[in-house]
Amino acid sequence: MEQIISKGLPISYNRYGDGPVTLLFVHGAFIDQTYWVQQVACFAPRYTVVTMDLAGHGASGREREQWDIRDMADDVVNLIKALKLQQVILIGHSLGADIILLAATSYPDPVTGFIVIDNFKNVATPLPPEYESQVEGIIAQSKQDFAGTNERYARMVLVTPATPQWITDKIVAAYRNAYEPMGQQTLPQFFTMDKIERERVPRLAPVLHLVNVNYMPTNREPLEQHAVNGYNLVEIEGTSHYPMLEHPDALNHALEQIIEEIKTQ
């Protein structure tokens, strides 16, 4: 594992392979780059594959007083610059999708492809007003019991009763053990991602590719409205938010097809 310094903080990453096209994988909230192990094994023989730990996650630094999603996106840009990456296909899971959206629209030149994994299911769409009080309650509960609130969220939203037990246990442990100062500051931002998406999705130069798990449906209408340069949705079977754990072969197959399409554009 190697590191760069971004905004004074060490950001840990791994680089595999030496292909001319780079696949840069960005994980979601409260997990880390080790979740991509099956994707590294699949793609490193033919591509340059880069995985990273977001700030406050995994082996990356935790010494920030202010935790902002936009700074995490800047870390992605700084990694691209530091490694002098070209022909970059950004691949972001969950919160990582919003982070690479910010990165791709802030530093578009080396970005040739953009892939979202299990996010943007209601892209650029604010929560209904009736949910606002629930959001306020979640944030208040998090301040009192961060680990417990995270666990309840993971069990209610990210997995289902049909999810294999080992995946549920892994995700619950990751959410309970997340770095609390970072988590407390970023949690309120999770509920306002629609503003970033509404601003940035229309500015995205590449086609917006999505690989979403069908345990929760994807609303196509806002995609058609905001993805002005086009979108492509691939749905795969699954019972959780984590296809890289639950169905890595299906995810890899979907990614392979999308990457080949991007390379021909």
DSSP 151-179: HHHIIIII--TTS-HHHHHHHHHHHHTS-
Q: What is the DSSP letter of 57?
A: S
Tell me: the pLDDT tens digits for 128-177? Answer: 887 777 888 889 999 999 999 999 999 999 999 999 999 999 999 999 99
Token pair 């990453």 is at which residue?
13
Both tokens of 54, joined, read 């977001």
| Cα Rg, the chain, nearest whole Å | 17
CA distance 61 to 220: 37
pLDDT of residue 129: 81
Tell me: the pLDDT tens digits for 97-133? Answer: 999 999 999 999 999 999 999 999 999 999 888 777 7
CATH topology of domain 2-126+193-264: Rossmann fold (3.40.50)
CA distance 47 to 16: 8
Helix, strand, coil fractions of the chain, as percent rounded to 5: 50, 20, 35
* 201 neighbors 153 (Cβ within 8 angstroms): no
* 19 neighbors 48 (Cβ within 8 angstroms): yes
pTM score, two decimals?
0.97
Q: How confident is the model at residue 45 (pLDDT cuts 50, 70, 90)?
A: very high
Token pair 């590191």 is at which residue?
3
Residues 6+ apart with CB under 8 A from 225: 124
CA distance 240 to 158: 6
